[in-house]
A and B are shown apart, each in its own frame.
Chain A
Amino acid sequence: MTSTLDERQRFTRRSLILGGVKGILFLGLGARMYQLQIANSDRYAALAENNRVRVKFLAPKRGLILDRFGRPLALNRPTYQVSIIPEAVSNLEDELERLSQLVFIEPEQRARILRQAKRSAKFLPIVTHENLNWDQIAQISARIPELPGVDLVETSQRVYPEAEVAAHAIGYVGPASKKDLAGDRVNNLPNLQVGKAGMERSFDRQLRGEVAASKVEVNAVGRVIRELEHDPGAGGDTLISTIDSQLQNFAQNRLGEDNGAITVIDVQTGDVLALASSPTFDPNVFTQGLKEEVWQALLNNPSAPLNNRAIAGQYPPGSTFKMLVAMAALEARVVTPKNAFFCSGVHELGAGRFHCWQRGGHGWVALHDAIAESCDVYFYEIARKVGIEKISEMARRFGLGEPTGIDSLSEKAGLIPTKAWKARNLKASWHIGETLIAGIGQGFVLATPLQLAVMTARLVNGGISVTPRILRKKDEEELPLSAAKIDVSPENLRAIMRAMRAVTSSATGTARMSQISVKAYRMGGKTGTSQVRRITAQERRLGGIKNDDLPLEQRDHSLFVGYAPLSNPKYACSVVLEHGGSGSLGAAPVARDVLLEAQMRKSANWNNGAPNTDAAGAANTLRREG
Chain B
Amino acid sequence: MGKMERFAFVALVAGIIFFLFADFVSWALPMFVMKDIPKKSVIDLAKEAKAKNTTAWSDFKKVATAYPESFKKLCEYEDAFTGVSKIPADKCQPNEETLAKALKVGHRWYVAEGCWNCHSQMVRPVSNETLRFGIPGVSNTVSYPSEYNNELQAPVLWGTKRVGQDLIREAAVHNLGWQAAHLYQPTSTSPGSVMPGYPWYFEEVKDPQTGKTKIVPNERGIALLTYIMWLGSWEVKPPKDFKLEAVAK
Q: Do A and B come from one complex?
A: no
